[in-house]
Amino acid sequence: MSGVYKPSLKASEDTLKEKLTQCKWLITDIDGVLTDGKMNLTENGDEFKQFHVRDGIAAALLKEKGFKLGVLSAGFAKNAINKRFNAQGFDYISVDGTSKLDRFQQFLLDNHTSSDEVIYIGDDINDVEVMKRCGLAICPNDAHFSVFDHCDWRLKTKGGNGCLREIADYIYF
């Protein structure tokens, strides 16, 4: 773990390192974390998403370090999301409009995983209940202010600009 980069933390860096060693899963929201949160529409009304290539590299680095990866998102651009994250080798993909907390709790049961073993990255009020229950809660720098009190690590990176990469770089280097 990096000796150069200094994350913005609620607790100590030692606590962060301890939590990172306990976590086996990294689950992230998509809109506002892996994208800039803007809705992009074609002339026909179809939504499309833009992802930062650095997050794709980060996914490979995190997998190399033994993390299982997942996305937990609302039901927008479901086909694009499934295609992108299946291609990236994500282990869990949940995209629908139901409660994130309900889906998170079902994920824990289905994967025989403790909430303490999960890193969750979210950026808005619909992520807070999951953030309260995971082992390590992270948010982008430009997350909604209501999220800040519930996160252990506020990234320097804004949503859509390589949030996963900042985490991977901290862990990897």
- Annotated binding-site residue numbers: 29, 31, 123
- Annotated binding-site residue numbers for substrate: 31
Please list, in sequence order, all residues whose beta carbon lies within 8 angstroms of the beta carbon of residue 36, skipping any fewer than 6 positions away: 50, 158, 159, 160, 161
- Annotated binding-site residue numbers for Mg(2+): 29, 123
| Alpha helices (H) in the chain, listed in sequence order | 13-22, 53-64, 78-87, 100-110, 128-133, 145-148, 163-172
C-alpha dist (Å) from residue 168 to 8, 23, 26, 95: 15, 13, 11, 23
